[in-house]
Amino acid sequence: MPELIEVEVYRRLADKTVGRRISEVEAPDAWFLKRGLTPSGVVDAVGGATIVGTERIGKLLVVELDDDRPPLGLRFGMSGRLVLDDDAPIVELVYSSRRDLPVWDRFALRLNDGARLRISDPRRLGGVELDPDLGALGPDAWLLTLGQLRAALAGSKAPLKARLLDQSRVAGLGNLLVDETLWRAALDPARPAGSVVGADLARLQRHVRSTVRTLFDRGGSHTGDLHVARRRDGACPRDGALLQRRTIGGRTTYSCPQHQR
Ligand SMILES: [Zn+2]
């Protein structure tokens, strides 16, 4: 699924459209428009605008427009892809299909040079909104500081994994990245978030950033070392122990009972 790694790839793709003008807005699926936005509303708001920049906060992609227009927020849910013409940089999404059917195009911008930027989303769990509420998101995981992580976890009795998945605390981490990060940092995903202090906290912060960067360089959230062992009877790639499979934070969680504490 798109986590911040995939959305950063999408952002770099969308950034190629900076300087181009939106000549046509295609919003065939009213359900995909969020927070009161309507098909005619989005046409009025962004039609004719020039794309002046892109930004990513967590899993949210923001497309900035000229003329003081409100920015466009794009979300990709479990299975959404951003495609520029036929350039679809993410070839594998764990919870999605490799096919690309026109009926999955939920939203598209036609640009003045004829290019078309679209969201293809088989499961329809993403969405488009105007002027997204950035205040609802925690600090971005890509450059997460020790102070930011400490503030995100302090005093919380919630399981560590659930806290890291909470986008209002830390933005951008999803199921695969959190499991990989905690496996690398040797921390039990079920322990209370507020119990992670001192050397554990510093190690976690380093591993959040290095895991994001390493998996980005490898090409996606599914390229972690733990990923190949995410199955029943999977063994820890580090020490060979039988992995534990639990539901934590509402998500299927794999961890090693031997080295994650
Ligand atoms: Zn282990």
pLDDT in tens, 54-74: 999 999 999 999 999 999 999
Q: For residue 151, what are the CA distances in angstroms to 24, 165, 170, 182, 199?
A: 43, 15, 10, 18, 15
CA of 203 to the centre of ligand 1 (A): 16
How much is the pLDDT for 87? 73
How much is the pLDDT for 100? 80
pLDDT in tens, 87-142: 777 655 655 666 788 889 999 999 999 999 999 999 999 999 999 999 999 999 99
**pTM confidence score:** 0.94
Q: Which residues contact 20 (CB under 8 A, 6 or more apart)?
A: 50, 51, 111, 112, 113, 115
Please list the ranges in the chain whose pLDDT falls under 70: 90-98
CB contact at 8 A, 64 and 130: no
Question: Which H or E run includes 110?
Answer: strand 105-111
State the SS3 of 26-82.
Answer: ECCCHHHECCCCCHHHHHHHHCCCEEEEEEEECCEEEEEECCCCCCEEEECCCCCEE
Active site residues: 2-3, 59, 251
How much is the pLDDT for 99? 76
Rounded to an integer, what distance in angstroms lies between the CA atom of residue 51 and that of residue 204?
37
CA of 85 to the centre of ligand 1 (A): 44
How much is the pLDDT for 46? 97
Q: Among candidates 205, 14, 58, which has minimal Cα distance to 196?
A: 205
CA of 217 to the centre of ligand 1 (A): 24
CA of 180 to the centre of ligand 1 (A): 12
Helix (H, G, I), strand (E, B) or coil at 193: helix
